[in-house]
Amino acid sequence: MINRNESIKMSNANLESTAITCRMSFNSDMTNYKTTHERLEARKADDIVIQMKELLNFDHQQLKKTKLIIEVQINKHRRNIIYEVDD
pLDDT digit string (tens) for the chain, length 87 residues: 556 555 555 555 555 555 444 444 555 555 677 788 888 888 898 899 999 999 999 999 999 999 999 999 998 888 888 888 886
Distances (CA, A) of 51 to 63, 68, 82, 87: 18, 26, 51, 57
* Predicted local distance difference test score (pLDDT) of residue 9: 58
* Predicted local distance difference test score (pLDDT) of residue 61: 97
* Predicted local distance difference test score (pLDDT) of residue 77: 81
* Predicted local distance difference test score (pLDDT) of residue 14: 57
Between CA 34 and CA 39 the distance in angstroms is: 9
Instruction: Give me the residue spans of the domains in the chain.
Output: 4-76
Predicted model pTM: 0.47
